[in-house]
A and B are shown apart, each in its own frame.
Chain A
Amino acid sequence: MRHIYLVLLLLITPIHAVSVEPPIRFGLTAVVLTENLRFLDQWSEYLEEKMGREVEFVLRKSYREVMDLLRSGGIQFAWICGYPYVQASNSNLIELLTVPIYRGKPNYQSYIIVHNSSPYKRLSDLENKIFAFSDPDSNSGFLYPMSLLADKNEKPESFFRHTFFTFNHAETIQAVSDQVADGGAVDSYIWEYLAIYRPEITEKTRIINKSPEFGFPPVVSRTGADADMVNLMKQILERMDEDPAGKIFLSRLKLDGFNRFPDSLFNNIRDMANSVQMTAIRKYATKPSR
């Protein structure tokens, strides 16, 4: 039976395939809101048209899964967080492709948020409380609050009563607004994005701490990917602000555009990662279920 299918597949494929080349696979993480599938479809169509090749967005729950896909060659491009970037850039696995420009700068922050009705004013008020992290590989959602605790010589398991991961910045905001968690650490870009599109959620939260500015989660390519394809993708992304269709997508993403920035943009993340005891993080991070 399987053989018949194979034969059929061989017969059909040349007739129906627009291109014999395999699709470009582009990994997306929680750095952008991936809930709007229609928007992603339209964006991938836009990229397909420009690239002349099929483009497929690949969604995974955690950063680590996306990083594993990059490592295994399952994807050629990915939009990842600064923390996995600094971790992977050392191993020569990926190359920095381009960095989104948000509110005129290639920067964002980490927000420590609490429920609007709560009395907490600073992170130390959250001692012995429940805290929501986004992803164990997230800069804004995990590394930054970890560094804050490390500065106080505290570990999350002893400082907080209980912590959990939502693997999604939007869900961390939800956890705080629903009072499942007393506090949480989120990406400023996602918080501000939700404040525009779903203000009823962010209105229930209050920012008690804003981090210094970090390099915005960058788009990376897999080391060793086809150089023409990588250059074309870089051009298309960086010129999105030059054509009307691209502008529409950028305005939906609340971004100004993409541009080339040096790797040094992520140095403060790199420093922070080094200062935090890596062993503690490794021990603490829960392996995702998938």
Chain B
Amino acid sequence: MTMLLHNPRSWSLAVKLSLTLTAAIAAVGFMIGAVMIVQEWKRFHDELGEKALLLAETIAITAPKAILRRDNWSLYLSLKNLAMGRPGTSGIHEITTAMVLDANGLVQAHLHPADNPMTYPFSPPNASEKVLLKQAMGARKPIVLSGSGFTKDNFQEGIVPLFSDQKYMGVVRVRLSTAQLYDKAIDSALIILAIVFLFVIVGSVLGILVSRRMVKPLTAITQGLEAVGRGTMTEFSPIPVKEQDEIGRLSITFNQIMAELAEKKILEEEIAMSEKLVALGRITAGVAHEVNNPLAGLLNCIDTLRKHPNDKQLIDRYLPVIDQGLHRIKDIVHSLLVGLRIEESDETISVEDIDKLHHLITAEIGNRNIAVSWHNNVIDNLQVPGRLEQIICNLLKNALEILPNRGHIGFHMYQNKAHLIVEVSDDGPGIPPEIRSELFDPFFTTKANGTGLGLWIVYRLVQSMEGIIQVISEEGEGTTFHVAIPVKSHKAA
């Protein structure tokens, strides 16, 4: 799990797709939410401004006459009633301050009379208030002034200038606090966020469902391809197709391919089986032929000996022939058994054991004029499969047999990365191109007394080690056998 978290690239497509969908839905949802919240706040703010203006207008109806008549008390009462409410009503609590100033900026009425005595100039407590006062006194038509920023201390102020017969009389200022608005906006923002959150959750669940449904066929295709890799595509069951979209069409095509592959596999198995039968037939025919040949001579010899049981000369002449024939049959059967009974084995030998073959072949050469160049470039303690010894032995004997009384045999063994390479060469007559394809067939031989099983056994041994055998031959120049065996865990510890 932790590894999964650390490596997002290895996440399943279903997870990535649903996460992407969720992220997209969340991003869109929260963006819409944010826009809604901002809009809502602006709307509330504007409404508050309109309300402040309306309240200021209400005061402004009677204010000019009251200023003219010095009726400060009724001006004050109208401000107070607006804010505190008449008996039995609650009033408008958002009003933080309200005032009526005359044309000279003198207070005619103020909601907080103790700090702002009437007939004195209104004194703003700070610089920003000073600016606001200037704006309010400068206004010649109703405006809304607001503080800046999204804070609890913010306000919207309705400014209504007073005129009597086109003469400027002063100004009414009614300021409403945004504190309640702020709370209202926070409440509605919470509701919007909750809705968006719900929306995101529902969207994510839907996203997961949709992406799983989309990815399901892809997962099935991946499993199908893995089955192809293992060669078990016949066990693959077709992907159910529900949609006719791209993935649906892909599924249909994939099902067809898999069906064809399965068919092909069955066909190949059948072909392999028949090839096996053919090979078996060929071996059987070869055995029959090779065994039958000496048998006819042997039966003849026995028949002749039976007719002349006391002819010592005949016995002396025929017994070696019978012996030779029976030995040949024994050799053939033995070789066949060796070639057919190759089994997996982990038996290993050291490289030095291979070098012993050098002495063996030298002994075999005897007094023939054949030179052997031996190059073993493999590190001494390398462990090699035991069957390699037999392969090299067969190849060396083969070379020795092919050479006339003089010549040269080369042996070279080395390691090339993951492969152990063995090259056995001779400068004999070479192999004619027309028989090269039959070289490793059982019972194929060009030698008078050969069984035709030597190279077949080599081929079988190399195959059993998942190796490769190659022949490079030029007529009159010689032949080289390349054997490459993968080095598994044969290295000595």
Contacts and interface: CB of A to CB of B under 8 A. Distances in A.
B117 interface: yes
Given A130-B119, A161-B119, A162-B119, A180 B113 contact: yes
Nearest to A182: B117
Contacts of A286: 69-71
A171 interface: yes
Contacts, number: 40
Contacts of A289: 65, 69, 71
Contacts of B71: 164-165, 286, 289
Nearest to A287: B69
B67 to A, nearest CB: 12
Chain B contact-residue range equals 10 to 19
A164 B113 contact: no
A51 to B, nearest CB: 31
A180 B118 contact: yes
Interface string A175-189: 100111010000000
Given A164-B71, A289-B65, A289-B71, A180 B119 contact: no
A240 interface: no
A286 B114 CA distance: 25
Interface stretch (B72-80, B136-144, B308-316): B72-80
Interface in B74-103: 76-77, 80
Nearest to A163: B70
Nearest to A167: B73
B62 to A, nearest CB: 9
A166 interface: yes
B118 A162 contact: yes
A81 interface: no
Given A132-B73, A164-B72, A286-B70, A179 B114 contact: yes
Contacts of A175: 73, 76
Contacts of B80: 178
A180 B72 contact: yes
A175 B72 CA distance: 10
A171 B71 CA distance: 13
B73 A166 contact: yes
B73 A178 contact: no
A180 B119 CA distance: 11
Contact of A180 (B65, B69, B70, B76): B76
B398 to A, nearest CB: 129
B69 A178 contact: no
A175 B70 CA distance: 15
A162 B67 CA distance: 13
A132 B71 CA distance: 11
A114 to B, nearest CB: 13
Interface string B112-136: 0110011100000000000000000
Interface in A143-166: 161-162, 164-166
Given A164-B70, A286-B70, A289-B71, A179 B118 contact: no
A178 B119 CA distance: 16
Output the residue of B65, B73, B76, B77 with the most chain A CB within 10 A. B73
Contact of A179 (B69, B70, B72, B113): B113
Contacts of A162: 70, 72, 118-119
Contact of B73 (A161, A164, A182): A164
A114 B375 CA distance: 129
Most buried by A among B69, B72, B118, B119: B72
A286 B70 CA distance: 9
Pick the 6 closest A-B CB pairs, nearest first: A179-B114, A180-B113, A162-B119, A164-B72, A166-B73, A179-B113
Given A162-B119, A179-B113, 16 more contacts: A132-B73, A164-B70, A164-B71, A164-B72, A164-B73, A166-B73, A175-B73, A179-B117, A180-B73, A180-B76, A180-B118, A286-B69, A286-B70, A286-B71, A289-B65, A289-B71
12 contacts: A132-B73, A164-B71, A164-B73, A165-B73, A171-B73, A175-B73, A180-B73, A180-B109, A180-B113, A180-B118, A286-B70, A289-B69
